[in-house]
Amino acid sequence: MPDVPALQPLPRKESEPLRDYALRVLRHNIVSLRMEPGRMYSEKELSDALSLSRTPMRDAIQQLSHTGIVEIYPQRGTAVALIDYDLVEEARFIREALECAVVRLLCRKIAPEEIKELEGNVQRQRRCLMLNNLSGLMTLDLRFHELLFRFAGKLQCHEYVVNMTIHMDRVRSMALKAQKTHPFVQQHEALLDAIRAGDGETASRLMSQHVSGYLVDRDALCQMYPQYVKNA
């Protein structure tokens, strides 16, 4: 098995269980493509790369396997699954349904200090865009959507979305690297304007366009990354 490329660790949150930390770091590295689709990894290699014991790493891998993003082969290791466009589309469907509902709810109940926190996030997105910091941009994008669920009081729904939409997030990461323009920062601004105005209909429509706009079509994805796509 070839050497594992350097995985990007993340700061561990205060009192965060090691299993949850391992899961969060693996998700991050899968979405960012540091853990490449189709590549095989061993539990020990991943544990050593993150300076963790094998038990929390094993638990994290097991949970990821339930979403289909990794495939466990006994006595051989764990493979990051190739991109399955059927799962990507299902993830988009789930995310669109839940996030459109969330922004409609926020249009009725969001607090001024919550608007201010979203505004700060979008300002940092603009700075990342100016500096071509795509990794920072992706992190802030994910945080923006997490804040929407948090302010709506729907964090359990957000956890469900995170578990399923990892398939979609990989495609979004690829699109971010391939595209020369990144309109989703302006889309976040327009969404925020609609939420601030309490316009649920417009916010829902903008969110639907926003979620679908992340995706490149399958043919384009297969041309850019044929080695990463199932049945390319």
Q: What is the domain-level CATH number for residue 66?
A: 1.10.10.10
Q: How far apart are CA 106 and CA 76, in angstroms?
A: 47
Q: Is residue 5 part of a domain?
A: no
Residue 97, both tokens: 């349904």
CATH number of 150's domain:
1.20.120.530
Q: How far apart are CA 90 and CA 108, in angstroms?
A: 28
Q: Is residue 13 part of a domain?
A: no
In contact, 80 and 35? CB cutoff 8 Å: yes
Residue 221 confidence (pLDDT): 74
Residue 1 confidence (pLDDT): 45
**170 lies in the same domain as 117:** yes
Domain termination site, one of 49, 80, 111: 80
Q: How far apart are CA 220 and CA 137, in angstroms?
A: 22
Strand-pairing partners, residue 193, are none
In contact, 122 and 192? CB cutoff 8 Å: yes
Mean pLDDT by 10 residues, the chain (232 residues): 68 94 95 92 92 96 95 94 91 94 97 98 95 88 96 95 89 75 87 97 96 71 84 71
**196 lies in the same domain as 217:** yes
**73 lies in the same domain as 91:** no
Residue 216 confidence (pLDDT): 61
Residue 26, both tokens: 């693996």
**55 lies in the same domain as 138:** no
Nearest of 34, 168, 17, 143 to residue 88 by alpha carbon: 168
pTM summary value: 0.85
Domain termination site, one of 65, 80, 95: 80
**115 lies in the same domain as 204:** yes
Rg, C-alpha atoms of the chain: 18
Q: Is residue 100 part of a domain?
A: yes
Residue 138, both tokens: 């992706």
The residue segments making up the domain with residue 30 are 18-80
In contact, 78 and 43? CB cutoff 8 Å: yes
CA distances from 122 to 80, 168, 213 (A): 32, 22, 18
**100 lies in the same domain as 195:** yes
Q: Is residue 207 part of a domain?
A: yes
Residue 67 φ then ψ, to 5°: -90, -10
DSSP 34: S
Contacting residues for 217 by C-beta, under 8 A, at least 6 apart? none
Tokens 């006994």 belong to 74
**159 lies in the same domain as 100:** yes
Q: What domain count does the chain have? A: 2
Q: How far apart are CA 204 and CA 199, in angstroms?
A: 9
Domain termination site, one of 80, 96, 114: 80
Residue 213 confidence (pLDDT): 73
Q: How far apart are CA 116 and CA 149, in angstroms?
A: 16
